[in-house]
Amino acid sequence: MKENPSESLRPGVHRRIFGHLRDGRAVEAVTLVNAAGTKACVIAFGATLQAMIVADREGRLADVTLGHASLEEYLASTAYFGSSVGRVANRIAGGRFLIDGEGYRVPANNGPNALHGGPGGFDKALWDIAEVGDAPCPFVRLAHTSPDGDQGFPGTLQVTAEYALGDDGALAITYQATTDKPTLVNMTNHAYWNLAGEGAATGALDHVLTIPAGHFLPTDAAAIPTGDFAPVAGTPFDFREPHVIGARVRDTGHDQIRIGHGYDHNWVIARERADAPRLLARLAHPPSGRVLEVRSTEPGVQFYSGNFLDGSLIGKGGQAYRMGDGVALEPQMFPDTPNRPEFGSIRLAPGEEYCHRIVFAFRADG
């Protein structure tokens, strides 16, 4: 079921069956194609970005996001390749939190902590394909109902995820949600990127990264933020100027690199959400000329350098994914916000609407 970068599809929306769940339900794949031949494939399981095919400076197409070729592999995987994660992205310490003074608990699935909504989060749900269209650009809108008590979270949550591919090469993702009880929401997309092409022998540690943030969030040994807003100046976490990722990813002279086995931290772009997507990160691969700009309405971005990819997962091209073969840049509110009032709030109340807009904008520099 791998998307073929060289396959010619007319601009628009293309639907097919990607596989079937064990109970027989079909899982569709929707491929969006723009006028330049850029393609984004989204599967309904986990509202997942399964493939992103973009051109280099010579016009050669390659799939630049990590993922699996079959539904069976997605069912077995806990890597979140391209998944829509929620209700709450990243970690909640101890899987415990309060809402309006009442205690709740989410099952721990990352040591003692809850990660990405728990073991049965949105990445493991079969979403409905609510709408597809090609005006003003190819898009697919998926919908999911998370019932009251799902993974321990209160309130019935109605969620949508829309992917839209512009002729400018930008893939826009919009997450929206409403609830009938006060609850928590902090969604993101968990794509891993390798602008050389997924499975490329060089991996992604030769990519050049820029993050326009003066502070990051240090963590304890369980990857929970300590509560400090640490300056990046003079540390391996300073990406205000472009740096090759691999140059400092093993700098164990810094305790946070040792704790994370590389980069797995949240950078502080701002302290509050924005009305329109702003630049969170820029990733470049000079040999191909491909550049990815990540923009979002959220104030933080989790940069993960693929530290725990250990060769046990097989990619779409049949290659084993190893450490650093892909990197994730996940826009979001800060980790463990429910237990850190100084971080802000991810509380959603009845009558309110959660909306997170992400833009993955691609280009090829000469």
pLDDT digits (tens, 9 = 90+) for 63-116: 999 999 999 999 999 999 999 999 999 999 999 999 999 999 999 999 999 999
The DSSP element (H or E) to which 170 belongs, if any, is: strand 170-179
H-state helical runs in the chain = 71-76, 255-260
Q: Name residues whose C-beta falls within 8 Å of residue 340's C-beta, 6 or more positions apart in sequence.
A: 225, 227, 334
Omega of the bond leading into 250 within 30 degrees of 0 (cis): no
Give the per-residue pLDDT at 6.
66
4 pLDDT tier (thresholds 50, 70, 90): confident
Tell me the domain boundaries of the chain. 12-364
Helix spans in 254-330 (H): 255-260
Catalytic residue among 73, 162, 293, 330: 330
The average confidence (pLDDT) of the chain is 96
Task: State how far the Cα of 122 lies from the Cα of 158, in Å rounded to an integer.
Answer: 12
The DSSP 8-state label assigned to residue 27 in this structure reads: E
3-state class of 338 per DSSP?
Answer: helix
β-strands 170-179, 157-165 pairing = antiparallel
Give the model's confidence band at 7: pLDDT under 50 very low, under 70 low, under 90 confident, else very high: confident
Q: Is the dihedral of CA 278, 65, 283, 213 positive or negative?
A: positive
* pLDDT tens-digit map of 281-294: 999 999 999 999 99
Question: Per-residue b/e over 196-223, b at no fewer than 16 CB within 10 Å?
Answer: bbbbbeebbbbbbbbbbbebbbbbeeeb
Per-residue pLDDT tens over the stretch 113-165: 999 999 999 999 999 999 999 999 999 999 999 999 999 999 999 999 999 99
Q: If you average pLDDT over residues 230-254, what whole number do you get?
A: 96
For residue 252, the model assigns a pLDDT of 87
Largest CA distance in the chain: 58
Query: How many separate helices (H) and strands (E) can be counted in the chain?
Result: 2, 30
What does the chain come to in residues?
A: 366
CB 285 within 8 A of CB 326: no
Q: How confident is the model at residue 28 (pLDDT cuts 50, 70, 90)?
A: very high
- The distance of Cα 156 from the centroid of its chain, to the nearest Å, equals 23
Q: What is the pLDDT of residue 121?
A: 98
Given CATH 3.40.50.720, say whether it is the number of domain 12-364. no
Q: Tell me the three-class secondary structure of 345-360, residue by residue.
A: CCEECCCCCEEEEEEE
How many Cα atoms within 13 Å fall on the side-chain side of residue 324? 17
The pLDDT tens digits for 252-274 are: 899 999 999 999 999 999 999 99
Structure-block tokens of residue 92: 């909640």
Tokens standing for residue 156: 């019935």
| Contact indicator for 65, 327 with CB cutoff of 8 Å | no
Q: Give the integer Cα–Cα distance in Å for 300 and 297.
A: 9
Whether residue 155 contacts residue 166, with contact meaning beta carbons closer than 8 Å, is answered with: no
**What is the reported pLDDT for 8?**
76
Residue 211 to residues 208, 216, 282: CA-CA distances in angstroms? Answer: 10, 10, 7
Residues 6+ apart with CB under 8 A from 122: 46, 47, 83, 84, 85, 86, 87, 144, 146, 159, 187
Mean pLDDT calculated for residue range 204-224: 97
The question of whether 207 is a catalytic residue gets the answer no
Q: Which of 190, 207, 265, 285 is catalytic?
A: 190
What average pLDDT does range 6-11 have in this prediction? 82
Active site residue 272: no
307-353 pLDDT, tens digit per residue, is 999 999 999 999 999 999 999 999 999 999 999 999 999 999 999 99
CB 7 within 8 A of CB 51: no
